[in-house]
Amino acid sequence: MKIATFNINGVKARLPALLDWLKAATPDVVALQEIKSVDEGFPRAEIEDLGYHVETHGQKGFNGVALLSRRPLEDVVRGLPGDDADEQARWIEATVSGDGAAVRVCGLYLPNGNPAPGPKYDYKLAWMARLEARARALLAEEAPAVMLGDYNVIPEARDVHDPAAWGQDALYLPQTRAAFRRILHLGFTDAVRAFDAGEAYTFWDYQAGAWPKNHGIRIDHALLTPQAADRLRAAGVDRAVRGGDKPSDHVPVWLEIDL
DNA sequence: ATGGTAGGCGTCCTA
């Protein structure tokens, strides 16, 4: 089963690129971020025509996440637990059954947090604490699960072209990276890092020629529970997507597990 | 060199 994440930066503006990538990459399950659409505005028919079930958690103008799956999406939950007052659409999870076992797929769009310090950074850290709580509960299930999406976290110096230039950024501050490590070290596997120790950027800014200069960062991740990691067969980054027509500033990250 | 670009029911906000 091939599971992927893709921050598409506007599902309506990105629909041709999304459909092209779905046809070429043929993922079984996809977590989308930044759909920037309410549920009613999501171009569901075009994606269903490719054989996908669609579940959305949208919001007007900003944020918004969705899950696509060739197999049915069961027990869908929208919103990250821990703050009933949180209005931002950044989390959706569902179960997908394979031939033998099933996998819990959690799609996430972690807050950017800039500028830091400030209320946006406080919200990011609070959201990461809620994510850690959900991660602990997933581990306690002792079953295959994947938390994947745009984490807005640069884990290490090797994940950014110029660490010094990002020193004060909310994506790379020590407190951000420590919060990410607290989750990772609970027992998760970073799927891409299980296969690639080198440069594996997933985002290049639209500005200042970041793509042609390869000024990238690695901020889209897939974290697997031990029971999912046992089944991990491959993972990677679809870097070439960044060079397509009207591209997102992110590219897809994918993994394959035996299910 | 404090710029540059993209998307959204938008004339600013977010990234």
Q: What phi and psi values does residue A138 have, to the nearest 5 degrees?
A: -65, -45
Nucleotides of B under 7 A from a protein CB: 3-10, 14-15
d(CA A151, CA A219): 6
Positive or negative, the Cα torsion across A128, A96, A62, A237?
A: positive
Cβ contact A118 with chain B strand, < 7 A: no
Of A193, A192, A195, A214, which Cα lies nearest the Cα of A203? A214
Question: What tens digit of pLDDT does each residue of A15-73 get?
Answer: 999 999 999 999 999 999 999 999 999 999 999 999 999 999 999 999 999 999 999 99
CB A92 within 8 A of CB A104: no
Q: Does residue A84 carry a catalytic annotation? A: no
- How many domains, in total, are found in chain A? 1
Of A203, A198, A202, A192, which Cα lies nearest the Cα of A229? A192
Output the average pLDDT for chain A: 97
The C1' atom of B5 and the CA atom of A82 lie apart, in whole Å, by 35
User: Residue A198 is which amino acid?
Assistant: G
CATH of the domain at A215: 3.60.10.10
Its pTM stands at 0.98
Residue A231 has pLDDT above 90, yes or no: yes
Q: Does residue A172 carry a catalytic annotation? A: no
Cβ contact A213 with chain B strand, < 7 A: no
% of chain A exceeding 70 in pLDDT:
100
Residue A100 has pLDDT above 90, yes or no: no
Residue with CA nearest to B15's C1' atom = A112
d(CA A157, CA A163): 6
Nearest nucleotide (CA of A152 to C1'): B15
The C1' atom of B6 and the CA atom of A171 lie apart, in whole Å, by 20
Out of A150, A159, A190, A249, the active site residue is A150
Cβ contact A37 with chain B strand, < 7 A: yes
Residue span of the structural domain in which A64 resides? 2-257
Cβ contact A124 with chain B strand, < 7 A: no
Cβ contact A56 with chain B strand, < 7 A: no
Cβ contact A206 with chain B strand, < 7 A: yes
Q: What are the tokens at A254?
A: 């994918």
